[in-house]
Copies of this chain bind each other. A is one copy, B any other.
Amino acid sequence: MPQASQPVIEALQWRYATRVFDPGRQIDAATWSTLEQALVLTASSYGLQPWRFLVITDAAIRSELRPHSWNQNQITDCSHLVVMLKKRVITAADADRLIEATALTRGIEASVLDGYRQMIQVDLIDGPRSQTIGQWSANQVYIALGNLLTSAALLGVDTCAIEGFSPPDYDRILGLESSDYQSCVVCACGYRSSDDKYASLSKVRYSAADLIEHR
């Protein structure tokens, strides 16, 4: 089952923040389904999955979002635009939902998981982390983003992660203002245009010697 090292590194070398997508080229349904599965399989703290993903293909919505995204053309020209949402707060209901799903999936009594539920309660709901829970939720969403960027590259799908957008405007346009979730980060997915001059530029990375220290 384990892959050779070379394809993983080649995919990560091939990946770049795509500036110009080919607007005529769509991700096929099977490949997109795989990327949705990859998103669903993302790891999260306690397995709480404090996220939702809006996949926007509607041209009118994308046109409306674009001016609130520094007018970046990727918003309208990519194949699938993913707005990654984070949960605003973590509540007892979130813990209960996870415990119920776990009990159901594993065919056990929910009461077996009381200790686990209590850990979530003490840490995220009542503990000091609850004071900065938006940061915690965002962190989990960024795990999903990292997973999506890598999984897409392995499938030969181009991406551009986008932080340059206005979350309040996105929330308004997407009708999230009174929901439990809010816009966190955006990822445009599709295929690079042959016109994208950024595709051929050398990747700029600090050296492993600069970034990694062994102790």
**A residues whose Cβ falls under 8 Å from a Cβ of B:** 1-3, 5, 7-15, 17, 30-31, 34, 36-43, 45, 47, 49, 51-58, 61, 98, 101-102, 105-106, 123, 135, 138-140, 142-151, 154-157, 161, 163-164, 174, 185, 201-208, 211-215
Cβ-defined partner of A41 (8 Å) among B13, B39, B207: B13
Tell me which of A14, A106, A174, A206 has the highest count of chain B C-beta atoms within 10 A of its own C-beta: A206
Tell me which of A34, A102, A147 has the highest count of chain B C-beta atoms within 10 A of its own C-beta: A147
Q: Are A54 and B5 in contact (CB under 8 A)?
A: no
Give the copy number: 2
| Bound Cα distance A12, B101 (Å) | 19
- Write the chain B residue with the least CB distance to A163: B45
Tell me which of A54, A144, A154 has the highest count of chain B C-beta atoms within 10 A of its own C-beta: A154
Instruction: Provide the residues of chain B in CB contact with A40, threshold 8 Å.
Output: 205-208, 211-212
Q: Are A1 and B17 in contact (CB under 8 A)?
A: no
The 4 closest A-B pairs by CB, nearest first: A146-B146, A2-B156, A142-B142, A5-B34
Q: Are A212 and B52 in contact (CB under 8 A)?
A: yes
